[in-house]
């Protein structure tokens, strides 16, 4: 199942990424020669219109081959003959699709669990809440005179007691009820022994999906920065073998963990692809800006050679991280 999950994840992420390039290219009138999922020899081909659609034997990549992408072309619909305002969105579209996929997956994960409400579902036996008479169905209004609007405020409000008796206000069957209880310490934090009801809220789940994506993205950018400063070693990077291992570990804990890992990899793909390095979408975008400023100082042929060198360097990096993955296995 680890192999199956890994193949599915790779295919979905790459398909979504290349679909972004493909959709924007088609929408802007750029000629797309081939849209492929996978690498290596084709096991399925079908031509529709001017585009060849193919499924290839190795599920480790994919591509959207546009006319004039890495070479000069006289075709008016070639990528190289389109203006900056057309080419830039095509380059950004792949990472944008991976970003949207990350938000969608995380939103669905949050929705599947539900969001904690301020209504109590369980009262732990022999807990301060049980001793004070709190009941399932009570809706929290305030703890220690601090208004409770969402569950995230509960722990902070209980912590303000510093172990002293505090008032807890709830609404029970439409009527206000106030009890006094003394929090107890458990695993280094103060608790009162209550658990919330979880409600499935689509809009709120999407908001949490955006927030989680933002937080994950900030952490990834921080790690990338540490790679350049030397605070994080390149030996800690993970390649395909390492990702397969991570998928296997996640699968042992359930599908939701696999979904969360998929979101993490998708966001990583979006961010890394926009780095200003040749052969990556970010590098292509940077050269696009440079060519916009300098005019014809860089030809399509020269740009193609720059990306070829960048691709070779990326392949060297891939071999290195794969070697590190193998070392970690043993």
Question: Considering the chain, what percentage of its residues have pLDDT values greater than 70?
Answer: 100
| Predicted confidence (pLDDT) per residue in 15-65, tens digit | 999 999 999 999 999 999 999 988 889 999 999 999 999 999 887 778 999
pLDDT at 302: 82
| Cross-strand pairs, 169 | 142, 178
Strands 184-186 and 189-191: antiparallel
Alpha helices (H) along the chain: 2-27, 84-113, 128-132, 152-159, 202-229, 240-251, 255-273, 281-294, 300-329
Whether the CB-CB separation of 119 and 137 falls below 8 Å is answered with: yes
Whether the CB-CB separation of 243 and 6 falls below 8 Å is answered with: yes
- Name the packing angle between helices 255-273 and 240-251 (round to 10°): 150
pLDDT at 23: 95
Q: Which residues are catalytic?
A: 18
pTM: 0.81
| Predicted confidence (pLDDT) per residue in 264-305, tens digit | 999 999 999 999 988 899 999 998 898 888 877 777 778 888
Give, as one character, the DSSP assignment of residue 236: G
Give all domains of the chain, ordered by start, each with its CATH number: 2-113+203-329 (no CATH), 116-199 (2.30.42.10)
Alpha helices (H) along 142-199: 152-159
| Predicted confidence (pLDDT) per residue in 236-269, tens digit | 777 777 777 777 777 777 778 888 989 999 999 9
| Predicted confidence (pLDDT) per residue in 100-136, tens digit | 999 999 999 999 989 999 999 999 998 999 999 999 9
Name the pLDDT band for 187 (thresholds 50, 70, 90).
confident
| Predicted confidence (pLDDT) per residue in 58-90, tens digit | 877 789 999 988 778 888 999 988 999 999 999
pLDDT at 32: 95
Whether the CB-CB separation of 57 and 21 falls below 8 Å is answered with: no
What is the spatial distance between Cα 178 and Cα 133, in angstroms, rounded to a whole number? Answer: 10
């Amino acid at each position: 199942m680890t192999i199956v999950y890994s193949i599915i994840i790779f295919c979905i992420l790459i398909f979504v990424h290349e679909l972004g390039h493909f959709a924007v290219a088609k929408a802007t009138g750029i000629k797309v020669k081939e849209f492929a999922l996978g690498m290596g020899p084709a096991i399925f081909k079908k031509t529709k219109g001017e585009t060849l659609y193919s499924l290839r034997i190795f599920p480790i990549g994919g591509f959207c081959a546009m006319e004039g992408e890495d070479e000069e072309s006289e075709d008016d619909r070639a990528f190289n003959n389109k203006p900056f305002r057309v080419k830039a969105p095509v380059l950004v579209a792949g990472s944008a699709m991976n970003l949207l996929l990350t938000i969608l997956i995380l939103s669905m994960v949050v929705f599947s669990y539900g969001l904690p409400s301020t209504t109590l579902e369980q009262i732990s036996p022999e807990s301060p809440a049980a001793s004070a008479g709190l009941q399932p169905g009570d809706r929290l209004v305030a703890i220690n005179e601090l208004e409770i609007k969402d569950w995230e405020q509960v722990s902070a409000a209980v912590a303000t007691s510093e172990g002293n008796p505090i008032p807890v206000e709830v609404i029970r069957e439409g009527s206000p009820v106030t009890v006094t209880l003394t929090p107890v310490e458990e695993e280094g934090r103060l608790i009162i022994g209550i658990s919330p009801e979880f409600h499935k809220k689509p809009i709120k789940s999407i908001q949490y999906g955006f927030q989680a994506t933002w937080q994950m993205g900030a952490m990834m950018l921080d790690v990338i920065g540490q790679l350049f400063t030397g605070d994080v070693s390149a030996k800690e990077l993970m390649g395909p073998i390492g990702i397969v291992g991570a998928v296997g570990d996640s699968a042992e804990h359930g599908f939701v963990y696999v979904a969360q890992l998929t979101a993490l990899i998708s966001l990583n793909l979006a961010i890394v692809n926009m780095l200003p390095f040749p052969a990556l979408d970010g590098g292509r975008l940077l050269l696009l800006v440079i060519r916009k400023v300098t005019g014809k100082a860089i030809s399509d042929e020269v740009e193609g050679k720059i990306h070829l060198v960048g691709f070779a360097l990326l392949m060297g990096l891939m071999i290195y991280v794969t070697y590190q993955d193998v070392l970690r296995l043993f």
